Chains A and B, each alone.
Chain A
């Protein structure tokens, strides 16, 4: 029986494991893919206190090594279900079942998909969710960005330095993102704005060759692009817990700053919690709080 099982080895989950180990709790971290979470795709972190310019990879690796050195056990298994059996809980993974006194859900966010046919098939063959990761492959080519928030605007701006033409496609007639970014973009020669429109079809067999764009008035247009960067937000990875955990209408776990979920002994930390500010620093903050609350819960039961 573990004291604390943490689901997710991003900044929130790994920070929880450090606090748990400092309280000498038997701790297991379960991670589906690899440690680090979303931050590994950030080239340079500029807004984390006292360590400006550290790369996301270095940050994640330092944090992971710190957690391991503190004695956290980490297993790379995907959690498919959690069960509340009153006195103890069960965490079910693709490889086994683990018993624990408490659980911290720190699964974070995944990219929201457009939902067009063959989207998954063309990932890495023209379809991308990360301009800074994949932009370099589109030197001198035509690309499109979908979205209306800061990420879409930043992606478009980044790509105007690399690509030949950047189409920015947004379903509304104005952007949600910062005005300064929009103005910046308008000054670029190779940007084309397509408002009130959605990407409705991906064209190309082995790789993306174009997209069909449908205007809200019903008219359709095919545009030749080699790359499509989808920046329409992220969604929480809480699907596997909704049998017992209360989620809000957007799928985030309902919990206040004390990180308690609706189930006693199950806590949430990081970006998958319902909150306003999702930053590296708030993720690690949640990580500390959730672990301290879990430790309190265990010690009270003794």
Chain B
């Protein structure tokens, strides 16, 4: 599945109400490490249908960043059943991100 951009208008529908786990990638255009993590996320998204990955630009969506306590990017937050399951900050290797999504 392709990574879609999410805003505060559709965050509930795309993330909180999702039947499958969702990884939210909080990022910004000026953030180097965010640009480096994106190809890894694209790869994971194309390989897996059992979860979804969405992107939130923190400059456009500062309310979402504030609401979910994002103070450093790249910040990846996994939601399951409408609530936060786990998160990571900074660059992470692919396996670790898959682990965040797949772990029980």
Q: Which residues of A contact B (CB under 8 A)?
A: 32-36, 40-43, 55-57, 60-61, 76, 123-126, 128, 133-134, 136-138, 206-207, 226-227
Contact = CB atoms under 8 A, between A and B. Distances in A.
B36 A137 contact: no
Contacts, number: 66
A95 B89 CA distance: 23
Contact of A57 (B35, B70, B75): B35
Interface stretch (B3-11, B14-22, B26-34, B42-50): B26-34
Interface of B: 28, 30-33, 35-37, 58-59, 65, 69-73, 75, 89-94
Interface of B, helix, strand, loop or mixed by DSSP: loop
Nearest to B33: A40
A125 to B, nearest CB: 6
Nearest to A206: B69
Contacts of B73: 133-134
Contacts of A206: 69
Contacts of A61: 35-36
B36 to A, nearest CB: 5
Contacts of B75: 124
Nearest to B96: A33
Contacts of B93: 32-34, 76
Contacts of A34: 33, 36-37, 91, 93
